[in-house]
Structure 1
Amino acid sequence: MKEKMLDIFSHLHAHGEISFKEVETTNYLVALFEAAGFQPKRFKNIPGFSVEIGSGSPKIGLRADMDALWQEVDGEMKANHSCGHDAHMTIVTGVMHRLKEVGEFNGTVRAIFQPAEELGNGSLSVIQEGVIDDLDYFYGVHLRPFDEIAFPNCAAGIQHGSCVFVKGQIGGVDHHGARPHKGVNAIEVAASIVHHLGLTYTDPHIAATAKMTNLYAGSENFNIIPGKATFGLDLRAQTNAIMEELQQKVKTICTQLSALHQVPITIEFFDYVPAAVVHDEAAALLAQSIEHVLERPAFPTIITPGADDFHFYTIERPHLKATMLALGADVMPGLHDPHMQFNHQAIVNGIEILTDVCLRTMQQG
């Protein structure tokens, strides 16, 4: 089993595909499941598929995200699995094969291979496919960096934060460098936005940040003061309530600076990802499985400023009892690093833990 799963991982790692382009990844995994006697069902409108085993209740879901990142690796732009989704797919595939070996059990396990997690909205597309509506429990998994939780330790929940991006535009008119009084310098307006973001306060007990992450203004002519500029903001908060507050403050800053400088400032929020809602019962079951498999206690829920669209599932379907396995894997140098590496034994640990929690959850049914 271990050799087979590592072969699958190697193939997935070598053939990464970016968000909503995971066509060959889908074809490869569907063929693999069909060869093993499963009956996978492709999604109608997006790449990806679901496959299940067993019957009746409880109905348990397993999420595997499929997409790679488009990034430069040793001077070459390529689809690169630097976030561990190749491992996640391998783990969920392994769980389904392990459950097939178990044979009969009371309940259903449905694996969901989801596209476009990196865009922050692939889960919403899966929800529209209708494959989670009848689920009772839902488990995800994510490799963790070495400096967050060391291999082989694991936690029964990941408290991801909320994230949203902002596209902004300052809509003035260019004017002569010798006549700055004839217009508004868009760069100075952008600097005012940065300044006021630094004066934006929310509850200091809850982590939150707002920062400008790109700015485009001006031309090759240094004697023209740019009236127009586009900018981008990255907003993050550890809770959904603080994220709502942060977005409102950004709106207020842009509205008031627009009035002060007498120049249009328009903003658009996009790629919103909610903060995690970890279900106590699901987390307790997962903690028991971690302790059973690893023979060591589960770590407390990991708190991380990163985001994951897994949490749209519980926002959109509040009945789901969901949590995500924080899988200690000694990820180095870090997630999204083009040369990300991890301890491959974590794949085996993930398979055994998630298999155990599926069987354990069925006993609750």
Structure 2
Amino acid sequence: MAVKNRFAELHENITALRHDLHAHPEILFETHRTSALVAERLRAVGCDEVVTGIGRTGVVGVIKGQSVTSGKVVGLRADMDALPIQEATGLDYASTTEGAMHACGHDGHTAMLLGAAEYLTETRNFDGTVVLIFQPAEEGGGGGREMCQDGLMDRFGIQEVYGMHNWPGMPTGSFAIRPGPFFAATDLFEITVQGKGGHAAKPHETIDSTVMASQLVLALQTIASRNADPVDPVVISVTSFETSSKAFNVIPHAVTLRGTVRTLSKDMRQLAEERVKALCALQCESFGGQAIVDYRRGYPVMVNHPDQTEFAAQAARSVSGQCDKAPLIMGGEDFAYLLEERPGAYILVGNGDSAMVHHPAYNFNDEAIPAGCSWWAEIAEQRMPLSS
């Protein structure tokens, strides 16, 4: 693997930093310790400017190259937050915070970008400016949106932006990427099905909300099978079915359904929302009941820009020798907000044979650190080369 020699030297220190972050996970915007540690580290390695409090608890570091005559400004983003999961790894550096865990590898992402910061401040082998973005609240809080709304792009003059995520199941330190739609939009729904409750021995005197809701769960699946273009993916999952009664002999007056809708295009996203609402209304009306639908838009589709995707793949090939085409992913990623503001690309780096992300047994693979750090450095040096 053609990693930069400096990262082999820094590997032990970056790993120790990653373990410290792993032992002290913080959720959503509550990344106070993590943000302070990041800011302290950026100042210690010699960043030209360090700004805290962007998007509540986000941190930004600025590194100017040996020359800035190109006027180019490239943003590199890592996420910092953990998940509300009880860790079950048994590691000696396992989470010390009850009910919180770095189960998605954001500790690794943060450590790798901090490692890259140390290299880039030492060498400054580029013509332009690197803006390091450390973002809170990727896991459902929309931290990327908050940082953008706080003026991230304009304040620091960012012209392009790049992100990276570890991926279990890919060989350690390998890379994969794809242009266009990559991660799905993540919408949520809560449907209250209302009928008329009564005695279970007299169903004819009721409007059975349980039957209505059961039929609705099945009907919602026809959106994917009968309304959607088969080559335009949509996933509709009902993940919770809760009745207003727990008794054996009572037909409840109401049932609440909760779930998620995942799509990879704006048109399919709109169609799915319209069909969910229509099916709820008409299905329940046919039984004599009604449905109240709370449909909430979440993260948008994350779309990689073609030119920046090819450049990101080229940088990956410089590090590992190849870069595979990544699959479409129906999970969400709020780097989507940054890519709506500026052209850029998001890449996967292999985490090896580990538990999948969001699992209590997951752990970031420290052997991926040199490759990830090297990719960040290659982005800066190749996108803003010094003139010979």
**What TM-score do the two structures reach when normalised by structure 1?**
0.92
Does the CA contact (< 8 Å) of 2:237 and 2:260 recur in 1?
A: yes
* Aligned partner (choices 359, 369, 373) of residue 347 of structure 1: 369
* Match in the other structure for 1:211: 237
The one of 209, 213, 225 equivalent to 1:190 is 213
What secondary structure, in the 3-state scheme, does the structure 1 residue paired with 2:315 have? helix
Which residue, out of 159, 170, 193, partners 1:170? Answer: 193
Contact 1:331 1:343 (C-alpha < 8 Å) held by counterparts: no
- Matched residues in 2 for 1:92 and 1:270: separation? 33
1:12 aligns with 21
Residues 1-365 of structure 1 aligned to structure 2 (within 5 Å): 1-38=10-47, 39-43=49-53, 46-54=56-64, 56=68, 57-74=71-88, 77-103=98-124, 105-119=126-140, 121-133=142-154, 134-146=157-169, 149-157=170-178, 159-200=182-223, 201=226, 202-270=228-296, 272-294=298-320, 296-315=321-340, 317=341, 320-330=342-352, 332-363=354-385
Could you tell me how far apart the structure 1 residues matched to 2:240 and 2:36 are? 37
- Structure 1 residues 290-322: Cα deviation after superposition (integer angstroms, max 9, x where no partner): 11122x22112442222101112223x2xx221
Tell me the CA shift for residue 110 of structure 1: 0.8
Q: Secondary structure at the match of 2:281?
A: helix
Between the aligned partners of 1:105 and 1:333, the Cα distance in structure 2 is 37
Alpha-carbon distance in structure 1 between the residues aligned to 2:141 and 2:267: 19
CA contact (8 A) 1:16 1:67 kept: yes
The answer to whether the Cα contact below 8 Å between 2:55 and 2:143 also exists between their aligned partners in 1 is no
Q: What secondary structure sits across from 2:236 in the alignment? A: strand
Indicate the structure with greater strand content: 1
Q: Deviations over 1:242-282 (max 9, x none)?
A: 22221211111112123222323111222512222111111
3-state SS of 1:266 partner: strand
| Structure 1 residues 346 and 279: alpha-carbon distance in aligned structure 2, compared to 1, 3 A threshold | same
Shift of 1:111: 1.0
C-alpha contact (below 8 Å) 1:119/1:271 kept by paired residues: no
CA RMSD for the aligned pairs? 2.1
Number of matched pairs: 359
- Asked if the contact 2:309–2:345 (Cα under 8 Å) also holds between the matched residues in 1, the reply is yes
- 1:45 Cα deviation (Å)? 5.5
CA gap of 1:243–1:58, structure 2 versus 1, over 3 A, is same
Letter of the structure 1 residue corresponding to residue 73 of structure 2? K
Q: Is the CA contact (8 Å cut-off) linking 2:54 and 2:147 kept in structure 1?
A: no
Q: Distance in 2 between matches of 1:364 and 1:277?
A: 30
Q: Which moved more, 1:203-212 or 1:14-23?
A: 203-212
Query: What amino acid is aligned across from residue 49 of structure 1 in structure 2?
Result: V
31-40 or 278-287, which moves further after superposition? 31-40
Indicate the SS of the match to 1:292: helix
How far apart are 1:16 and its partner, in Å? 0.4
Give the aligned residue type for 1:6: T
Q: Is the 8 A contact 2:45 2:121 kept in 1?
A: no
Shifted more, 331-340 versus 269-278: the winner is 269-278
Q: Which one-letter code corresponds to 1:203 in the other structure?
A: D
Deviations along 1:309-344, whole A, 9 cap, x unmatched?
1112223x2xx2211121012152211111113431
Task: For residue 120 of structure 1, report the CA deviation from its aligned partner.
Answer: 5.0
- The whole-number CA distance in structure 2 between the counterparts of 1:262 and 1:166 is 22
Q: Percent identity between the aligned chains? A: 26
- Conserved in 2, the CA contact under 8 Å of 1:157 and 1:326? no
Please give the TM-score of this superposition, normalised by the length of structure 2. Answer: 0.87
Provide the secondary structure at the position in 2 that maps to 1:192. Answer: helix
CA distance in 2, matches of 1:342, 1:44: 26
Aligned partner of residue 232 in structure 1, secondary structure: strand
